[in-house]
Structure formats: structure tokens, C-alpha cells
């Protein structure tokens, strides 16, 4: 497992992209819409990992609900694995509570699945596997 990215929930992706491009001194933050999850995301590549800025595109998006409850900020940590299905089976057998029992399509050409923060000391953990 390796750290893939840190997900940050933001109210306004364009404004946040401005801030983070200055912070990391990068010119361009590619933006992608993930309709399945009702979000728009911007990826800031920093060294071997990334910061993923995530904005809700709909009031019933999980990100909108998160910001409503807890405000903007760090939303999840994402770790890349080689075989997501196998890893989900392993974690389930270890007693972790999975939000996604099956991998689903995420941003940036990855399959993703979330583990419930109840099982991981309050931290929302995402596992990802590169497609193809
Ligand atoms: Zn993520």
C-alpha cells in the first residue's frame, strides 16, 4: 500500500485551485467531473502523491453533506493497492466496516472503495486501484 492522495473537501473548486496552485507553485490543476459521485475534483500532484480538491456538484452529494456538518478541510486519505477486490475481502474478514463492498469508478482512472471511519479511528480511508 502507498499513499495515493489526500482528499480535501472545498466549497468552491476554482477558488481552492487558485490557493493550492500558489501553495504548491504549480501552473495547472486538471479538473475532472465524476458524475457518479456528484463531485468535481482537481488534482495537485505533489511529489509521489497528490492532493485532491473535491467540490460537490449537487446538494445531495456526500461532499456537500460533509461540508454542511464539518466545514471544509481534510476529507479522506487514499491508499493505492494492487488488487482492490482482494484487499476489500481481507479488510472485511479483519472486521473493518466497508462503505463500499465492491469497487466503484472514481476520478483519474481509478477504481475506489471507502472504509467507514468508525473502523479507522475517525479517519475516512479510501482504497484505490489504477484501471488498466
Ligand atoms: Zn480520493
Q: Which domains does the chain have, with CATH numbers?
A: 2-130 (3.10.180.10)
Of residues 70 and 107, which shows the higher confidence score?
70
Q: What is the pLDDT of residue 132?
A: 78
Ligand 1 center to residue 93 CA distance, Å? 24
Cell numbers given for 71? 466545514
Exposure string over 52-81, b if 16+ CB within 10 A, otherwise e: bbbbbeeeebbbbebbeeeebeebbbbbbb
Q: How many angstroms does the Cα of residue 107 sit away from the middle of ligand 1?
A: 8
* Distance from residue 121's CA to the centre of ligand 1 (Å): 18
Amino acid 106: pLDDT: 85
pLDDT band of residue 108 (cuts 50, 70, 90) is confident
Instruction: Provide CB contacts within 8 A for 114, sequence distance 6+.
Output: 76, 98, 99, 100, 124, 125, 126, 127
Model pTM? 0.91
What are the pLDDT digits (tens) for 36-67?
Answer: 889 999 999 999 999 999 999 999 999 999 99
Residue 107 has pLDDT above 90, yes or no: no
Distance from the alpha carbon of residue 7 to the mean position of ligand 1, in angstroms: 5
Is the pLDDT assigned to residue 15 strictly greater than 90?
yes
Q: Is the pLDDT of residue 25 over 90?
A: yes
Average pLDDT over every residue of 72-98: 97
**Mean pLDDT estimate for the chain:** 95
In angstroms, what is the span from residue 88 Cα to ligand 1's centroid? 16
Amino acid at each position: 500500500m502507498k499513499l495515493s492522495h489526500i482528499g480535501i473537501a472545498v466549497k468552491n473548486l476554482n477558488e481552492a485551485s487558485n490557493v493550492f496552485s500558489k501553495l504548491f507553485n504549480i501552473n495547472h490543476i486538471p479538473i475532472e467531473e465524476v458524475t457518479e459521485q456528484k463531485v468535481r475534483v482537481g488534482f495537485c500532484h505533489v511529489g509521489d502523491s497528490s492532493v485532491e480538491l473535491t467540490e460537490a456538484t449537487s446538494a445531495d452529494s456526500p461532499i456537500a453533506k460533509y461540508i454542511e456538518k464539518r466545514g471544509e478541510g481534510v476529507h479522506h486519505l487514499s491508499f493505492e493497492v494492487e488488487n482492490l477486490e482482494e484487499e476489500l475481502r481481507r479488510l472485511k474478514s479483519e472486521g473493518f466496516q466497508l462503505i463500499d463492498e465492491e469497487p466503484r469508478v472514481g476520478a483519474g482512472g481509478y477504481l475506489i472503495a471507502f472504509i467507514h471511519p468508525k473502523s479507522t479511528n475517525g479517519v475516512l480511508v479510501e482504497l484505490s486501484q489504477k484501471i488498466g
